[in-house]
Amino acid sequence: MDTLIALVAACFYFLALGLVVPGLTNSNGIKTKPVFIAALVAITLHVLLLKDLILGGSGQNLSILNVASLISLIIATLTTFAMLRMRVWFLLPVIYSFAAINLSAATLLPGAFITHLESHPQVLFHISLALFSYSTLMIATLYAIQLAWLDHKLKNKKSLKINPNIPPLMMVERQLFKIILVGNSLLTVTLISGIFFIQDMLAQGKTHKAVLSLLAWGVYSVLLWGHYQKGWRGRRVIWFSLVGAFLLTLAYFGSRFVKEIIIGG
């Protein structure tokens, strides 16, 4: 049953993707309603699937693939509703593709990392903050990639055909910093909650998570300071965003990836 749900959800993600891509290659307008409906069906099925994968047994199964699928779901949900107000079309093909791949992998390659968060609500709060901060900053990373593409086109004097589906560079930059500000604020609260709620946060095997997360927070904080105080723009902004995302990904998934995927234990 889970396999069937995953297949149907993936099909609706790719349907939404298929409705977006043609509008990025020509100046035809993208119809928001069909894309939104297809994505909403996919997201609903994704929720049902993860409910079974994570909550189907005793405790909560937070395997690396389940967590990756959950993050993909959060990102897909946020950007799907954002499409009603902002031109995020450039991001959606990547987001929906990863959502479809991650939910399929979580279904076809089951793993186990059982936790019991019902007896530790403070840890659930910390993990929820961590998931939302990471998801928000990954959306910012996609914005940075979009910014790099637009900047490359303009600096190489390659004419960008008038396409109402692709936002102007300045708009992308403004939205990028708003998203980074929100994501870094969530990351700040995540780190503070970790200090108060995770008693063994600096225990052996977990120190690297705290250190890498703090480094990522430092990178994003310097980037925000540099932009708002020194007027940083362009490639420096893009590289800072990518480095922050890399550090945060290592913090959240580094050791778990080695243990669960490479070693398989």
Give the model confidence (pLDDT) of 116-168 as tens digits.
Answer: 887 778 888 888 999 999 999 999 999 999 999 888 877 776 555 667 788 88
Query: Which token pair is 102?
Result: 């991650």
Alpha helices for the chain (secondary structure H) = 2-25, 32-55, 64-82, 92-108, 121-155, 169-197, 207-230, 235-257
Spatial separation of the C-alpha atoms in residues 203 and 187, rounded to whole Å: 20
Q: What is the pLDDT of residues 220-231, one digit of tens each?
A: 999 999 999 999
Q: What is the CA radius of gyration of the chain?
A: 19
Q: What is the pLDDT of residues 237-252, one digit of tens each?
A: 999 999 999 999 998 8
Amino acid found at 230: K
Distance CA 261, CA 170 (A): 40
The pLDDT of residue 136 is 97
Take residue 18 and report the two structure tokens written for it.
Answer: 């298929």
Q: With a threshold of 0.85, does the pTM exceed it?
A: yes
Question: What value does the mean pLDDT take over residues 165-189?
Answer: 92
Inform me whether the pLDDT recorded for 63 exceeds 80.
yes
**Count of Cβ atoms closer than 10 Å to residue 23 Cβ:** 18
Q: Are 201 and 229 spatial neighbours (Cβ–Cβ below 8 Å)?
A: no
Contact 238, 248 (CB under 8 A): no
Q: Please state, for a pLDDT cut of 90, what percent of the chain lies above it.
A: 56
